[in-house]
Amino acid sequence: MRKSKINIEDLFDLESAVIYNPDSYKATSDVSMDSRSVKKGSIFFAIKGLKFDGHKFIAEAVKKGAGAVVINSRRLKSLDDLDVTIIAVKDTTKAYGELASIWRKKLALKVISITGSNGKTSTKEILHTLLSEKYNVHKSAANDNNHIGVPKTIFECSDKHDAVVIEHGTNHFGEIEYTAKIAIPDIAAITNIGDSHLEFLKNRKGVLKEKSALLEQADSNDGKVLINVDDVLLAEEIKKYKNVIKYGFKGRVDCKAKMLGFTEDGRTKLNVIFGNDNFDVTLPLLGISSAKNYLLAISIAFEMGLTEKDILAGTKKLLPYHGRLESKIYKEFMLIDDTYNASPDSVRAGLDLLRKIKSYKKKLVVLGDMFELGNSSANLHSDLADSFKGIKNLKVMTIGPFMKKLNDKLIKNKIDAAHYDQRHLLKQELEKVSLNDYVIFVKGSRGMKMEEFVSVLKDRG
């Protein structure tokens, strides 16, 4: 099979590109923006980030064997002595995305793109595991979901891959549109529309507008669009797209699930219906939110040709992604680490999970501030108080100025709650409080570093 490569014509197709020493260029399939990972013949992109400037590492990249370097045109005079092909452009970050799009078009692989307010990473991980039963599948790594991460994920793909699952993140208008045009998805989905990134996207309609750019790109490419009919805002969008796959827990849909109940430790039991397939499954994952992510993933998996047998085999291999409803049972207590990030909807989902867990009598909730909620921050924190109603034997600990709003309201509602102004005080309390017969839920936005409190609890296990 012919191996796809980036040739000199592809480099000339980059907007604003001026190429020096083109005759020395040899076609390659390797692109890097990290000098430490450069291979012989690689194209090295000198990208300026917040902490590092790739132009400072050009010499190292060339020494390691880079066959071409992409640089900012303004830096050209300082690189006269380089004996490799030089591609000078106005913006190396933009050129990186342009070349990624060119590379994507060379590969005969299915591109599956996922975004949403909550659950996009978990859905990506579930889908990757399921599709791996039948295909050679690549996926976005860690936080590679932005204007740099999406093209990086595409460059990591090669002719050996059948599909790639790409996560698209955003917190400003236009970011999804940019990465969607690079990825050109064959299948696109939005998990849900919630109160995330409101600081810049203003409200849920703003979130919908931003994230819908992914569906619009797939639709313009005659791709498939997955619509969650249980999400009111998304359900209203169905008629906009040509090739829609509907999924949900209610209504007339292409892929449907019914909640059958929960195990004592909170794992979800589902009945799944897709065409002639009708099967029951107990997920090795916690909570309703995981069930929703799973339903989207299997909707895509069926579209990709997986059978019921494939899906059930893959389901047995599912593991919680780090920091996302990741549970561990210790001698005296159960710990649920959901510290990767936080939004009002995901906090409510976690509290709902606590109600489902019957194997422990008492509940401890440790919450840190939720970020990027804009002018609605104070209200969205305090409004969470109603979600605690009905949870028996409950204790709540909070940290962060906005969580103080929630704490005040919880106390008014006669819930056992304590707020901590300093991190060391909360740590001290977690080191000494009784944990016997507790299920403990820890959550907060990344900037709150709630994983530090998880570590304290793990040490007690």
- Strands 110-115 and 85-89, bridge-based pairing: unpaired
- Total residues belonging to the chain: 461
Residue type, 415: I
Rounded to a whole number of angstroms, the distance between the first and last alpha carbons of the chain is: 53
CA atoms 97, 102, 107, 111: torsion sign: positive
Q: Tokens 């530090």 label which residue?
A: 452
User: What are the residue ranges of helices labelled H in 341-435?
Assistant: 344-356, 377-382, 401-412, 423-432
**236: DSSP letter:** T
- Which residue ranges of the chain lie beneath pLDDT 70? 1-2, 195-202
Calculate the dihedral angle through the C-alpha atoms of 207, 208, 214, 218, rounding to the nearest 10 degrees: 180
Classify domain 326-460 by CATH number: 3.90.190.20
Short-list 247, 216, 215, 241, CA closest to 229 = 247
Placement of tokens 């699930």 in the chain? 257
Q: What are phi and psi of 27, to 5 degrees?
A: -55, 140
Taking each helix axis from N to C end, the angle separating 287-303 and 120-131, rounded to the nearest 10 degrees, works out to 50
- Helix 287-303 to helix 344-356 angle (10° resolution) is 110
Q: What is the pLDDT of residues 175-208, one digit of tens each?
A: 999 999 999 999 999 999 876 545 555 677 778 8
CATH of 8-90, one of 3.30.70.3270, 3.40.1390.10, 2.30.30.140, 3.40.50.2300: 3.40.1390.10
Specify the DSSP element, H or E, that contains 245. Answer: strand 244-248
Angle between helix 287-303 and helix 308-315 axes, rounded to 10 deg? 140
Cα dist. 263→129, 285, 304, 452 in Å?
23, 11, 30, 29
Whether 354 and 318 have beta carbons less than 8 Å apart is answered as no
443, 337 in Cβ contact below 8 A? no
Angle in degrees, CA 163, 177, 340, rounded to 5: 70
**Cα-based distances in Å from 70 to 6, 16, 66, 103:** 14, 12, 11, 16
CB-neighbour burial class of residue 74 (10 A; exposed 0-12, middle 13-18, buried 19+): exposed
Cα(28)–Cα(50) distance, integer angstroms: 29
Contact call for residues 113 and 187 (beta carbons, < 8 A): yes
Residues 193 and 211 sit within 8 Å (Cβ to Cβ): yes
HEC profile for 264-297?
A: CCCEEEEEEEECCEEEEEEEEEEHHHHHHHHHHH
Block residue for tokens 């561990």: 328
Contact yes or no for 172/200 (Cβ under 8 A): yes
Which tokens is 323 given? 């920091």
Q: How far apart are CA 228 and CA 189, in angstroms?
A: 8
Q: Could you report the per-residue pLDDT of 15-42, keeping only the tens digit for each?
A: 999 999 999 999 999 999 999 999 999 9
The domain spans of the chain are 8-90, 107-315, 326-460
Closest by CA position to 380, among listed 112, 176, 214, 199 = 199
pLDDT value at position 198?
A: 53
CATH superfamily of 107-315: Mur-like, catalytic domain (3.40.1190.10)
* Per-residue model confidence (pLDDT) at position 174: 81
